[in-house]
Structure 1
Amino acid sequence: MRKVWAGVVLAMLLVAGCDRGSHPHQIGTVAPEFTVSDGVQTIDLSKYRGHTVILNLWATWCPPCIIELPSLIQLHHQMPDVDIIAISQDEDDAVYRRFLVQHNIDFLTVRDPTTRINRLYGTKQIPESYVIDKNGMIRRKFVSAQDWTSPEIMSYLKKL
């Protein structure tokens, strides 16, 4: 019986793992353009052509999202020429705004409670991040929390 349960758990993990990376066709394609506004901030991705962009899909209630926030903030300070655009799927505006203040988030973020942008990019679980080059092409997809100041990621971003 234990082997059966172990097999079931393993199968579930493999299926979940495959689902998180099921959009490799996006790499090397033009990033889907969007405009989103939450009444305070408006983001129009097309206005970022000519810039390297990290599109980060997240939420305040997501533990891995919270784990990667300090390194995103640090990256924002160390590489100000890389634009970070964070799209939160939080529904409660007051909770979202309080979170931004409490965590000193000073990069561009907007709330999309409809998860329209997540669906546009095929994101089912967060966090997910997309590196979009100066020509608007998706160059890399990161799944789950990242250390955005790791030597590998910093070197990659500098080359763009």
Structure 2
Amino acid sequence: MRRLLSCAALCVALLPAAVMAQSVGDAAPAFDLPALSGGEQTHSLAQYRGQWLYLDFWASWCGPCRRSFPFMNSLRDKWPQLQILAVSVDANASAAQEFLQSNPAKFALALDAGGKLAAQYKLPGMPTSFLIDPQGRIVQRHAGFNEAHASKLEAQLQQIFPKGP
């Protein structure tokens, strides 16, 4: 029931944002989020300046997110120079940690428990991902997860990193 309420609250919060989602060419909104593992480690957009970043928003209750995690792990294996940060929008870290028990990650994880960053990025749904260039501009945005998205992203990464790892 708690997951259903969290999902409903996020959907209501994101409804107006779906109309005016962040677009390709926009500057990525800055952020400074705590690492999902807790402690004092944080993740900020500034720390990725000068590097390509795949920024993914996910939640433990999101079905397509279960398929996107193996894909992001494969991206990490194919292109280690691509930085990947997956941001959980779960209300608490324990739900996200439980998700990770069956969906391990080889990439950085952060927590946006209050949904403030999700609101800044104007997410239309879960998962939503952004490919951000070294200057901090959004070059690709995708809501949901499917094979067509995966193929499109991999083709774009082949152009960015033509020689592979």
TM-score (norm 1): 0.78
The 8 Å contact of residues 55 and 86 in structure 2, kept in 1 or not, is answered as yes
Match among 22, 28, 32 for residue 31 of structure 1: 28
Gaps of 5+ in 1: 1-18
Letter in 2 for 1:73: N
What is the match of residue 96 of structure 1? 96
Q: For 1:140, what is the secondary structure of its paired residue?
A: strand
Once superposed, what is the RMSD of the aligned Cα atoms?
A: 2.2
Q: CA 1:86–1:107 in structure 2 vs 1: closer, same or farther (change >3 Å)?
A: same
Question: How many angstroms apart in 1 are the aligned matches of 2:18 and 2:48?
Answer: 26
Superposed CA offset, 1:64-91 (max 9, x none): 1112211111111111111111110112
Question: How many angstroms apart in 1 are the aligned matches of 2:66 and 2:144?
Answer: 11
What is the match of residue 75 of structure 2? 75
The 8 Å contact of residues 124 and 143 in structure 2, kept in 1 or not, is answered as no
Once the two structures are superposed, the pairs formed by residues 1-160 of structure 1 within 5 Å of their partners are: 20=18, 22-23=20-21, 26-38=23-35, 39-40=38-39, 41-147=41-147, 150-160=150-160
Q: Number of residues paired by the alignment?
A: 141
Question: How many angstroms apart in 1 are the aligned matches of 2:144 and 2:18?
Answer: 9
Q: Please tell me whether Structure 1 or Structure 2 has the larger radius of gyration of its CA atoms.
A: 1
Letter in 1 for 2:33: V
